[in-house]
Amino acid sequence: MSLPLQSTPGTPLAIAGTFASLAVFLSITAHIAARNVLGDVPVRNAFVVGPVPAAVSFLVATFARTNTPVLFLGLGLALALDGVAIHYLYDRTPRLSAYITLIHFVVSVILGTVLFGILAIIQSAPG
């Protein structure tokens, strides 16, 4: 069963939609992480941070499908660039920026796991 707004897999629209969804998800988790550590922060900074690891994720997924060491290097690069973006956008010390990056990673993994579990439960429901 396809959803009315679902496009054909592999089309430019599907790829752009997937990238945008990942960037928005990572922006939301970046904002949650920054608010958790810094308190009240502008949301516009998070919408600059989110696309950075999303772009690295897309590049690694495109060019290194089965090469495990490259996947781990991509994760390290995404975390490093995420930390650099957080450091410059929030104007904090490198140590505090690294802490916010760690919290961003943890929040993204936890929220992503919960959302994936909810989708898996919904899809496995008897129709």
Tens digits of per-residue pLDDT, 78-105? 999 999 999 999 999 999 999 999 999 9
pTM passes above 0.75: yes
Q: Look at residue 3 and tell me if it is in a domain.
A: no
> What is the C-alpha separation between 35 and 18, in angstroms, rounded?
26
Q: Look at residue 7 and tell me if it is in a domain.
A: no
Residue type present at position 121? I
- Render each residue's pLDDT in the chain as its tens digit; 127 residues: 445 555 566 788 888 999 999 999 999 999 999 999 999 999 999 999 999 999 999 888 887 777 778 888 999 999 999 999 999 999 999 999 999 999 999 999 999 999 999 999 998 888 7
Please, are residues 64 and 70 in contact by the beta-carbon 8 Å criterion?
yes
CB atoms within 10 A of CB 93: 9
Quote the domain boundaries for residue 27.
Answer: 14-120
Q: Look at residue 43 and tell me if it is in a domain.
A: yes
Q: For residue 105, which of 43, 24, 50 has the smallest C-alpha distance?
A: 50
Token pair, residue 52, equals: 């950075």
Q: Look at residue 18 and tell me if it is in a domain.
A: yes
Number of domains present in the structure of the chain: 1
Q: Look at residue 48 and tell me if it is in a domain.
A: yes
> What is the C-alpha separation between 89 and 48, in angstroms, rounded?
8
HSE-CB at 27 with a 13 A cutoff on CA atoms is 15
**Residue pointed to by tokens 């950075």:** 52
